[in-house]
Amino acid sequence: MFEETGLDKLIGEKFILQNIKFEKITPAQVDEMKEMIGSYEALFSRRAIKYKEWKLKDKKLAEKDYRQYILDEYTFLKRPVIIIDDKIFVGSEKKTVAALKNELK
């Protein structure tokens, strides 16, 4: 996705890349992203292997649960997350990539 949108050439110049596997995401960052996108659920990845391992699909999760799981386990954050000014792009779906490309023009 980074190559497809041209972001790979802008890292370090116009963007900061945070590898959340090694640099944990903070509660403030999660809360800021939630404010931008509207819910913690929109940030949550159901594709994470631990989603099935922890049998989360069988549970009724509330917003506070999504937030806590994202903070506890980095794989639950839908990635990539790209923030440009007051806009947020979450995930790698075709429509998200298209919107990001349009924003970068």
pLDDT of the residue at 42? 98
The backbone torsions φ and ψ at residue 70, rounded to the nearest 5 degrees and listed phi first, read -60, -40
Distance (Å, whole) CA 22 – CA 4: 25
Tens-digit pLDDT string for the chain (105 aa): 778 888 877 777 777 889 999 999 999 999 999 999 999 999 999 999 999 999 999 999 999 999 999 999 999 999 999 998 899 999 999 999 999 999 888
Distance (Å, whole) CA 30 – CA 71: 8
pTM: 0.88
* C-beta atoms surrounding 49 within 10 Å: 8
Distance (Å, whole) CA 78 – CA 57: 16
